[in-house]
Structure 1
């Protein structure tokens, strides 16, 4: 009993020592994440990352000598709960900035509250609509659909493909991706020969795939986040289809490979560099950042690192840099200084924000990868 009491006392003293390095009023940063629900495989690594960074930064003295207080709310992948969570952070918790939400639909549902509140939102979701047209108070860290589609089409062109079929999920992410696909595929000189949609809760897409197959495309592009794309990969194998299948960056995690199993073999997608960090050339400025993040995350949580956790990493450190650049945790100052950030080497890419670009990434944030022997491999 005595040894247990001593252990508890030691842990308390350690925690006090860490927070004692940072004094004054805490800087409150909110987050709305899908820690549970269908998108938990995205939101959980984001939450893990933010709690890890909060502890790390506070142990090093905080930001501007003040401790960081992360207030993380779980929207359970539910749009109504995301709205309630955002209102709580803005009206009750009086946060200086909000990170998230995890998914595009939830981001689109809450983002219009932020200009009135004059608090910056740094989303971890991908839809281009989040930052186009530019809203002065809204930023995002996930790479844009447009750059992902362009990466896919560049690869398809090299393969000599002409006829493409698309299958997209009917949620916010899928709808946004479908719009970009329907714009860029014809603009790139390709033909869309089939266009199918599935629901985020659908458990069998054999009917849609059968229609795609009958259109005889040279390749199929699937746009969605798990579990749907994994179901599509398995259904494709069950139907004996050998048409090349591209996935979006929405499945760039080991969870997809786990869910799809052997059906993942040979699939292609644009992914952030974290998935293949060890394979990058040493000259790549992201490589040391990626390897350090992966090492810290895997040591802390005993699970593989995820690109989606990287969106949270970037959101946190971008806000931190904005606070330090303006020597102020005032929400207006954070917004103003986010917009000035240049050359920030993050997990998702190298960020260069401007008043006209609140994503700050370009196509170089992606590499084309394939799945070989149950793991990622860079497409030569």
Structure 2
């Protein structure tokens, strides 16, 4: 049976209806004539935080990888060879992530590793990756994962520095330039705080007060009360991911700080809204366009890909889409397209082809990698959103 007919039959049974853009993406990976035969199955190792404090980031990543590897294999894999996914849960523990990465490379002989739900778990895996010379596509946000550039390390999410820049630009537009930062003491919280502090002077932002919270903190009212007492503040920025920012948001409303509140792209999930409850109303954040796919103009080049992924994820899981599952989708497709172009699953050739990615339309934006840029996204890939009545609203960046 021709590849396109195999894919159509598999897709019909798979979701009942798969958006045209998804068909186009996967057909491009399996259609004869466009693919040089791979020499063996593509063995992909994955380490995500499907349980633990980062579960609401890692669980959609896990589900996405499983859904799309199944679909690709039903359509003939890559060049007629299967994709083998070896997926592990690190529970959010960096040492477990490091050990699992080492096992995938030494025992399972994977050609590439996708994962690192958090900055901490990603950074724990990096030395293992570099020593083994196997390409790694991180799903975490900190710029320090890829800056300075590491030969074997790439990432799909927007960086923490990009998030600071997007937030600060909106603060300047709204003339809210004297702020407090409340940051988590985890690796991502510290990294984003540092990026914001470095960037603030150049953008005309004054950071007049700072507070921190720990990953296990369940009561942060004292920190928010201190923010409320500080005179002259115009807004508050929270640097964190996982459940912590929701706890901060609830305390923020409980204490009655009464200032505009910004979160990072580390909360880009409906689960954050559920955890924060009514306190999330009015919160602004930078996030991938995936969260507002249906609200984008029809001419937006990302819209077909975003709607296809969102429809598929909802149909297969019964859950709302999150930016974090999108990061996993982007990582998988970058790897699969690299294998297609290389006609090989040899790690060095995969690495080179990932770095040669040009104009790839993913859920996070249009990706163009280079030897000096292993994220491949510019600031236009982040959209400014506000939470209203339990949903995401796209904010115009021409005004306030």
Tell me if both proteins adopt one fold, taking TM over 0.5 as the criterion. yes
Aligned pairs for 1:1-380 (under 5 A) are 25-216=40-231, 217-380=233-396
For residues 356 and 317 of structure 2, what CA distance do their matches in structure 1 show?
34
Q: Is the 8 A contact 1:24 1:67 kept in 2?
A: no
Q: Is the 8 A contact 1:134 1:356 kept in 2?
A: yes
RMSD: 1.7
Moved more, 248-257 or 107-116: 107-116
For residues 300 and 178 of structure 1, what CA distance do their matches in structure 2 show?
36
Q: Is the 8 A contact 2:270 2:320 kept in 1?
A: yes
For residues 250 and 46 of structure 1, what CA distance do their matches in structure 2 show?
14
Q: How much has 1:24 moved relative to structure 2?
A: 7.8
TM norm structure 2? 0.88
What whole-Å deviation, never above 9, does each CA across 1:268-289 have from its counterpart, x for those lacking one?
0001001111000111111000
For residues 129 and 252 of structure 2, what CA distance do their matches in structure 1 show?
42
Moved more, 210-219 or 158-167: 210-219
For residues 200 and 168 of structure 1, what CA distance do their matches in structure 2 show?
10
Q: Is the 8 A contact 2:98 2:128 kept in 1?
A: no
For residues 296 and 162 of structure 1, what CA distance do their matches in structure 2 show?
41
Q: How much has 1:356 moved relative to structure 2?
A: 0.1
Flag structure 2 segments of 5+ consecutive residues without an equivalent: 1-12, 15-31
Aligned-partner SS, 2:200: helix
Q: Is the 8 A contact 2:39 2:344 kept in 1?
A: no
**Against the structure 1 CA distance between its residues 23 and 97, is the aligned structure 2 distance closer, same or farther, given a 3 Å change threshold?**
closer
For residues 213 and 57 of structure 2, what CA distance do their matches in structure 1 show?
20
Q: How much has 1:45 moved relative to structure 2?
A: 0.4
Q: How much has 1:113 moved relative to structure 2?
A: 1.5
Pairs aligned (count): 363
Equivalence for 2:10: none
Runs of 4+ with deviation above 3 angstroms: 21-25
Aligned-partner SS, 1:132: coil
Q: How much has 1:162 moved relative to structure 2?
A: 2.2
Q: How much has 1:25 moved relative to structure 2?
A: 4.2
Q: Is the 8 A contact 2:57 2:242 kept in 1?
A: no
Q: How much has 1:98 moved relative to structure 2?
A: 0.2
TM norm structure 1? 0.93
Equivalence for 1:3: none
Aligned-partner SS, 2:43: strand
Q: How much has 1:116 moved relative to structure 2?
A: 1.8
